[in-house]
Homo-oligomer: A and B are copies of this chain.
Amino acid sequence: MNNDKIGSYSFVAEPFHCDFSGRLTLGVLGNHLLNCAGFHATDRGFGIATLNESNYTWVLSRLAIELTDLPRQYQPFTVETWVENVYRLFTDRNFALKDREGRTLGYARSVWAMINLDTRKPADLLALHGGSITDYVCDAPCPIEKPSRIKVSTTEPQATLQAKYSDIDINGHFNSIRYIEHILDLFPLEAFRERRIRRFEMAYVAESYYGDTLQLFADPEEADGTVSIEVRKPEGEVACRSKVVWENK
């Protein structure tokens, strides 16, 4: 029953998509997840290409990834994705990451809204295409926590960057994947050598634009390995928040 509801897409960990340890980076994994969301939606008639004609687009609101391992350079891997819930203004889409033997390396959860490109107002997902998206709701297991609330209290930025050409996506916004890279770049290489990221979360709050000066604030690591991060725009408005949960290898 779930076979038609779950999309399955295969990739290979390309050399320049791996970090110094030879593992796929979380930014590249995030890119694959977002692409798979697009493939899955397009194949079922509620993709961005169809929607763009009707002047709507999907907007990623939350992403949470939890992993026990990552594919190594040249290793094939598969991303499975399905829709868990559809509400009026949001939909929950889940993912499973599997290695070439079909072993699960981790899961991800994402939350999406659909907006009208002219009004920037959210669309009613239950009304879209006669609510046909609900036909694809699937109860496949995704045994990781939902995206959580992220709070950052530090007032001293750890890094400052200016949004450049390579940071900007086709919508003229700061690229969702680039945020992930800039956030990971807050940590020294040794952190990635000595420990691993067990869980990674992104909460996309407001768009930022070419030329924006972004400040990255990171709270001290908590006892359970959690580091909460906030990216703020020039006037202090939050662009996105992130949570990185480290564990010893």
**A residues touching B (Cβ–Cβ < 8 Å)?**
14-22, 25, 27, 31, 34-35, 38, 48-49, 73-74, 164-172, 175-177, 181-182, 184-185, 187-189, 192, 210-211
Contacts and interface: CB of A to CB of B under 8 A. Distances in A.
A169 B189 CA distance: 12
A20 B73 CA distance: 29
A169 B20 contact: yes
B165 A189 contact: yes
A19 B49 contact: no
Contacts of A49: 74
A31 B14 contact: yes
Contacts of A175: 16
A185 B164 CA distance: 6
A166 B188 CA distance: 10
A170 B187 CA distance: 17
A160 to B, nearest CB: 13
A127 to B, nearest CB: 25
20 contacts: A15-B48, A15-B170, A16-B34, A16-B175, A16-B177, A18-B169, A18-B170, A20-B165, A20-B168, A20-B171, A21-B170, A22-B170, A49-B74, A165-B184, A165-B187, A165-B189, A166-B181, A166-B182, A166-B185, A167-B185
Contacts of A210: 20, 189
A170 B20 contact: yes
Contacts of A170: 15, 18-22, 73
A38 B15 contact: yes
B177 A165 contact: no
Contacts of A73: 170
Contacts of A15: 34-35, 38, 48, 169-170
A15 to B, nearest CB: 6
Nearest 3 interchain pairs by C-beta: A164-B185, A166-B181, A20-B168
Contacts of A22: 170
Given A20-B165, A166-B182, 7 more contacts: A16-B35, A16-B169, A19-B168, A25-B166, A164-B185, A165-B185, A165-B189
A191 to B, nearest CB: 8
B168 A189 contact: yes
Nearest to A14: B35
